[in-house]
Structure 1
């Protein structure tokens, strides 16, 4: 699998970990707590694998920024958390920033 494939899977498991974190009730519910440990454990493992092929600055920008955007979307969809126009603009700017890093400053990858 390519570095991009590992990074895409890492983003999915980051969302699983974050959604499980909310559902865990402060680690008082067993299965959501398992979801946190598995989700974040796989996330870090997969990001580490992606770094075999991708530059650190690019991988981290995609992981952190993409994860932020996806977790905000998951919070809005699953937990009815507010997503105001300004918050949506902020998330759009994060995604634009990722593309700028990839296009102009992300090095080889």
Structure 2
């Protein structure tokens, strides 16, 4: 499987895990807590595959940046959480950084 597929999978699992973390109500709800733990574990496994093919700093920047943007979007759309203008600008800057790494850096997942 290509390294970018592992990275996309790691991001997706982290986003699902973080969404479940919010739904776990401080680990008092069993199913969301289990979903969170499994997704985080699988996400870190996928990252262990990715880090064999790209620098850890680049891998982590893409994983965390994409995760932040997606979790913020999920919080806004599905959980009714508000984002003010500075938050939207900051998230946009993070997303732009992920795009720059992927499109212009030789260190990204190509």
Assess same fold via TM > 0.5.
yes
* Structure 2 CA distance for partners of 1:58 and 1:31, relative to 1, 3 Å: same
Q: Is the 8 A contact 2:9 2:43 kept in 1?
A: yes
Alignment of 1:1-109 (within 5 A): 1-102=1-102, 103-104=104-105, 106=107, 109=110
TM-score after normalising by structure 1: 0.90
Q: Number of matched residues?
A: 109
What SS class does the counterpart of residue 53 from structure 1 fall into? coil
| Structure 1 residues 17 and 107: CA distance shift in structure 2, 3 A | closer
Q: CA RMSD in A?
A: 1.7
Quote how far apart the aligned CAs of 1:98 are: 2.0
Structure 1 segments unaligned to the other structure (5+ residues): none
1:11 match: secondary structure: helix
CA contact (8 A) 1:3 1:52 kept: no
- Superposed displacement of residue 86, structure 1: 2.0
> Following TM superposition, by how much is the alpha carbon of 1:107 offset from its aligned partner in structure 2, in angstroms?
6.5
